[in-house]
A and B are shown apart, each in its own frame.
Chain A
């Protein structure tokens, strides 16, 4: 299977680029449609021969607020999620708590509760608590998308932090909490970034909670925005695709800037 690279190298690279082109065609098509000025009804040209940013102007003027909402909600969810997950993961990794093992099991299982089931029950609870149509309500709901994942991922990392490092700080007079903040958190930087990135992506991509926990347009993330946009302006595909491009930007940026964290998260966090 694995042969010395030199001979077959160029062919493999060519084949890989072809696969890439094929699989990423929808992404190209999204960009292509967004960049063409007149895509109302007729078929779209294969290439954007006359570039125009008018679709993006339309997208920002109608969906700009939704993009901002998504950003606020996703960042809020990351903050809530990490604030809960980091200490919990540390406790589970290093304290040898009784029943810690079953807590990790339970955490894994919660990842499997269907979102629509949560939304179903959460809606009635939110209605009673006045959390429907609120930033806080959506932030808390979205944080639940990343929490089990983050706990499992961070715990797997923190298990390998040597106990002596923390013990030394305790001997020097720090309490468990300050030792955690000053020593454990900085050591776990990479794992925290990975967990935070994925929580951000989960929250940014969330559609279900956005759809079910909001009855007005006060808190409308971009996923809900584009869904309603397609329903209302199905003829203006250029603007819809420009919105799609804008809402895919975080994924693209993160992929370029934080490639190694993403790869680590996909393989590490999902398996363990």
Chain B
């Protein structure tokens, strides 16, 4: 019988029973069993009662996601000063905040840093994650256990990882420079976090490290779903490993690749913890991103209006990728799995 109720949309042809038609169904519990077809999933007509299951979560999401989205747009047209929190007055000032932010050089810089940080991080995480996923697809002893332990960097709080790396990347006493000097590379030590031209690169490096496990696990899962017969066919045709990878693995992995990249983008573009704990946006603002600038404007300079402007820019960028994400997911909803 109905082992699984498909997503709501596909049920629509069945007549919905919005509490009015309850007369027929509430009385007909035994009768229904005699007529097992069609109206099956909708038993008692009290759809209001059913909504009670969903309502608390909806209300909560409206408060914690919907309200902030709306409030941010409104705030971006208001002037918030520290005194606002005593007087409660935040006068509307039109586009003042927007002008101030867009003419601020730091904003343009942070936009650029965000782009570099995001693209750099994703490229590194994805490439290494995919290579590891392919490698771990081979069968060998301890493969599963090692894969599991590799998840650790992803599970540790990001601030904590950043703090550990901050120690490792110290110019004078960090282990990375100690090691490089021991082999004769980088004699004076690389100023990983103290030079404006290197710091963003260091942040990317740390973020790649954090993101590898996630990419690896999802891509590994995708690889397992590719039918083995295709590889057998490819090897019968005499295809080289590289050719097989390009013509079999990559095309079939594409949906998973899209999801990994979009999810990675979403979480990378808004990163705050990592950068604050690693460099605090410095040196000389060289690691300021949209996330850190929002934080700085709102919570350090206490100009929540300007912070909201940058936040809105972040939302627009995220929204574009949210659309991509949903498109990539559409197939999943169709099958109801």
Interface, chain A (partner B; CB < 8 A): 1-3, 5, 8-10, 12-13, 15-17, 19-20, 23-24, 26-27, 29-30, 33, 41-44, 83-85, 87-88, 90-101, 103-125, 127, 140-141, 143-144, 147-148, 151, 156, 159-160, 162-164, 167, 170-171, 176, 180, 201, 204-205, 207-208, 211-212, 222-223, 226-227, 230, 237, 240-241, 244, 247-248, 251-252, 254-255, 259, 262-263, 266-267, 270-272
Stretch at the interface among B105-113, B167-175, B194-202: B167-175
Q: What separation, in Å, do the CA atoms of A223 and B269 have in the docked complex?
A: 21
Residues of chain A within 8 A (CB-CB) of B221 are 267, 271
> Smallest Cβ distance from A76 to chain B, in angstroms?
14
Q: Looking at the complex, which one of A19, A24, A160 makes contact with B153 (CB distance below 8 Å)?
A: A24
Given contacts A23-B209, A159-B5, contact A244 B163 (CB under 8 A): yes
Given contacts A121-B67, A266-B217, contact A272 B141 (CB under 8 A): no
| Residue with the highest number of chain A CB atoms closer than 10 Å, among B138, B156, B231, B276 | B156
Cβ-defined contact, B57 with A16, below 8 A: no
Would you call B253 an interface residue if the criterion is a C-beta within 8 Å of the partner chain's C-beta atoms? no
Given contacts A113-B68, A205-B157, A255-B155, contact A20 B8 (CB under 8 A): no
Residues of chain A within 8 A (CB-CB) of B312 are 117
Q: What separation, in Å, do the CA atoms of A15 and B3 have in the docked complex?
A: 45
Given contacts A29-B164, A263-B217, contact A99 B8 (CB under 8 A): yes
Q: Which chain B residues numbered 252 to 280 have a C-beta less than 8 Å away from chain A? A: 256, 259, 263, 266, 269-270, 272-273, 276-277
In the complex, which residue of chain B has the Cβ closest to the Cβ of A96? B11
Residues of chain B within 8 A (CB-CB) of A270 are 214, 218, 259, 263
| Listed A/B pairs (21) with beta-carbon separation below 8 Å | A1-B137, A16-B136, A23-B209, A88-B54, A91-B53, A91-B54, A98-B16, A113-B68, A114-B270, A114-B291, A120-B68, A121-B68, A121-B75, A159-B337, A162-B1, A163-B5, A201-B155, A208-B272, A230-B166, A267-B218, A272-B329
Cβ-defined contact, B218 with A207, below 8 A: no
Q: What separation, in Å, do the CA atoms of A241 and B304 have in the docked complex?
A: 34
| Residue with the highest number of chain A CB atoms closer than 10 Å, among B6, B157, B231, B326 | B157
Residues of chain B within 8 A (CB-CB) of A92 are 8, 54
Cβ-defined contact, B311 with A120, below 8 A: yes
Cβ-defined contact, A87 with B43, below 8 A: no
Given contacts A204-B157, A251-B156, contact A164 B16 (CB under 8 A): no
> Smallest Cβ distance from A247 to chain B, in angstroms?
5
> Smallest Cβ distance from B325 to chain A, in angstroms?
7
Q: Looking at the complex, which one of B41, B47, B69, B329 makes contact with A163 (CB distance below 8 Å)?
A: B41
Cβ-defined contact, A84 with B60, below 8 A: yes
The 3 closest A-B pairs by CB, nearest first: A100-B8, A88-B57, A91-B53
Cβ-defined contact, A118 with B4, below 8 A: no
> Smallest Cβ distance from B121 to chain A, in angstroms?
16
Q: Looking at the complex, which one of A2, A3, A87, A117 makes contact with B311 (CB distance below 8 Å)?
A: A117
Q: What separation, in Å, do the CA atoms of A171 and B155 have in the docked complex?
A: 45
In the complex, which residue of chain B has the Cβ closest to the Cβ of A88? B57
Would you call B94 an interface residue if the criterion is a C-beta within 8 Å of the partner chain's C-beta atoms? no
Cβ-defined contact, A8 with B67, below 8 A: no
Given contacts A96-B8, A101-B333, A120-B75, contact A230 B277 (CB under 8 A): yes
Given contacts A97-B51, A114-B315, A125-B71, contact A84 B56 (CB under 8 A): yes
Cβ-defined contact, A2 with B67, below 8 A: no
Q: What separation, in Å, do the CA atoms of A255 and B9 have in the docked complex?
A: 38
Residues of chain A within 8 A (CB-CB) of B6 are 159
Q: What separation, in Å, do the CA atoms of A240 and B168 have in the docked complex?
A: 13
Residues of chain B within 8 A (CB-CB) of A1 are 134, 137-138, 231, 241, 244-245, 249
> Smallest Cβ distance from A259 to chain B, in angstroms?
5
Cβ-defined contact, A103 with B54, below 8 A: yes
The secondary-structure label for the interface of chain B is: helix
Q: What separation, in Å, do the CA atoms of A141 and B29 have in the docked complex?
A: 43
Given contacts A23-B209, A24-B152, contact A144 B56 (CB under 8 A): no
> Smallest Cβ distance from B230 to chain A, in angstroms?
10
B-side interface residues, number (CB < 8 Å): 121
Given contacts A98-B16, A205-B157, contact A112 B67 (CB under 8 A): no
Q: What separation, in Å, do the CA atoms of A35 and B166 have in the docked complex?
A: 18
Given contacts A120-B307, A125-B67, A227-B277, contact A2 B138 (CB under 8 A): yes
Residues of chain B within 8 A (CB-CB) of A26 are 153, 161, 164-165, 168, 209
Given contacts A16-B142, A120-B75, A240-B163, contact A160 B3 (CB under 8 A): yes
Residues of chain B within 8 A (CB-CB) of A244 are 160, 163-164
Cβ-defined contact, A114 with B311, below 8 A: yes
> Smallest Cβ distance from B21 to chain A, in angstroms?
14
Would you call B49 an interface residue if the criterion is a C-beta within 8 Å of the partner chain's C-beta atoms? yes
> Smallest Cβ distance from A220 to chain B, in angstroms?
13
Interface string of B212-223 (1 = CB under 8 A from A): 101001100100
Residues of chain A within 8 A (CB-CB) of B4 are 159-160, 162
Given contacts A2-B138, A208-B273, contact A254 B155 (CB under 8 A): yes
